Amino acid sequence: MTNTLQPTFEQLAVIMEDKLQVPRDRITPETALKDIEIDSLAMIEIMLAAEKQFDVEIPMEDIDTDGNVEDLFQIVLAAVDADRK
Amino acid sequence: MRIPEVRGGLRSAVICGAGAWLPPRIVTNDELAARMDTSDEWIRTRTGIRARHIVSPGMPTSHLAAEAGARAMESAGVTEIDALVLATTTPDRPCPATAPLVAHKLGLTGRPAFDISAVCTGFLYALSVAAGLIASGAAAHVLVIGAEAFSTIIDPRDRTSGVLFGDGAGAVVLRAGEPQEPGAIGWVELGSDGSLADLITVRAGGSEQRTAVVPQQPADAYFSMIGKEVFTHAVKHMTQASLTALNHAGWRSGEVDLIIAHQANLRILHAVSERMDIPRNRLVVHLDQVGNTAAASIPLALAHAQSTGELFTGARIILTAFGGGATWGATALTWPAIKVE
């Protein structure tokens, strides 16, 4: 069952589009973070914006620029699920 | 110690003068790029900094502090100061404190004078302590200075943190007054977390090094910073402290005219204003011209904003900072009518 308060990939993509100034169509789950020129500060900026958007705390320690956009989305989902418990 | 004349019932600290001083030598990003592996683009896009002022030979922190302090005293129209509080990360010497020498240079020999060490939060810590001196009746006029010769602790080969910092000094004069006056210092939210000591540090030169079991490295003599972690902590603590200060002042975010935050990194400032739901154009930005000047950052930004007219009489402002320690702080105040050169 889908929880209607669950963060959507679209919401994260909008945040990333704003922070990275890249076109929305370049942000797909499979997009490698290195391909959209995320620097380490941009990663933090995105996660901080996601914290505000979804009203959660996201642990920043393990976030790195390897992996893809889906990995970032999973981090956000995990934080939201942890917050609910 | 001179016994100050304090009228009964007037115990709030009110800003009545401000001044600033920057050493004349300017170093641009391009000049740095010519001698180390960096670029104007990297520095600007990562931090917003374009240039910084650097001390010349024979110009220790006391020199900058005295210049700024003199200008603040002139702005306030006072010659009698009861105490001098100097916030700095770069004292002239590890011992004694630099404040007594600055007092001496300003013709204030004999007044109580001491340093505050809270890195980039130093000016807010100093404001809080100075306001306490006035509240207790120990002083009627306090000169509060934030001064740094930060370039002197930067590793010349450090192309990450090294390019961020600059030198300079700013100061305010506080007088005894009433809590509702423009310029009155209200609640100053302050905090610390010593578990984060390694985030922003110069490891060598103190008792830790002198009692060390493990030999230290040459790089320990210089400043080091873990930028990514500082970024996260800074945004969160500056936001939280500012919201607490707003709460004490009874203001909503929308009522803030200007945020004068410690000028560490433009992207930190943007993240803080976004987190507080305050439009970006209410951020005072000075770091593009002077870089990160640590404890001098806030008073320099105040003087700069006053001189451009951006900071106007009656403006509701938030001052906030995060620094080494780690330390953090924020306070809300209404800006008074003062003359700044």
User: Which chain B residue has the Cα nearest residue A59?
Assistant: B232
Handedness of CA B191, B197, B200, B204 (dihedral sign): positive
Q: Is A85 on the interface with B (CB under 8 A)?
A: no
Distances (CA, A) of B168 to A50, B48, B290, B308: 36, 18, 8, 18
What is the per-residue pLDDT across B169-219, written as a single tens digit (0 to 9) for each? 999 999 999 999 999 999 999 999 999 999 999 999 999 999 999 888 888
Q: Which CATH class is domain B188-334?
A: alpha beta
Confirm whether pTM is higher than 0.80.
Answer: yes
Q: Into which CATH architecture does domain A9-84 fall?
A: Orthogonal Bundle (1.10)
Interface pTM (ipTM) of the complex?
0.88
What DSSP string describes chain A? ---TTSPPHHHHHHHHHHHHT--GGG--TT-BGGGGT--HHHHHHHHHHHHHHHT-----TT--SSSBHHHHHHHHHHHHHHHH-
Tens digit of each residue's pLDDT (9 = 90 or more) over B54-88: 999 999 999 999 999 999 999 999 999 999 999 99
Identify the residue among A19, A41, A57 best suited for mutation to test binding to B, counting B beta carbons within 10 A and taking the highest. A41
A52 to B275: CB separation less than 8 angstroms, yes or no: yes
**Tokens representing residue B322 in the block:** 């995060």
Distance (Å) from the C-alpha of residue B204 to the closest C-alpha of chain A? 27
Q: Which residues in chain A (30-49) have CB-CB distances under 8 A to chain B?
A: 39-41, 44-45, 48-49
B44 touches chain A (CB under 8 A): no
Catalytic residues of B: 120, 262, 292
Where do the domains of chain B lie? 12-177, 188-334
| pLDDT score of A1 more than 70 | no
Residue B306 half-sphere exposure toward CB, CA atoms < 13 A = 23
Are A41 and B275 an interchain contact pair (Cβ–Cβ within 8 Å)? no
User: What pLDDT, in 10s, does the model give residues B87-110?
Assistant: 999 999 999 999 999 999 999 999
For domain B12-177, the question of CATH label 3.40.47.10 is answered with yes
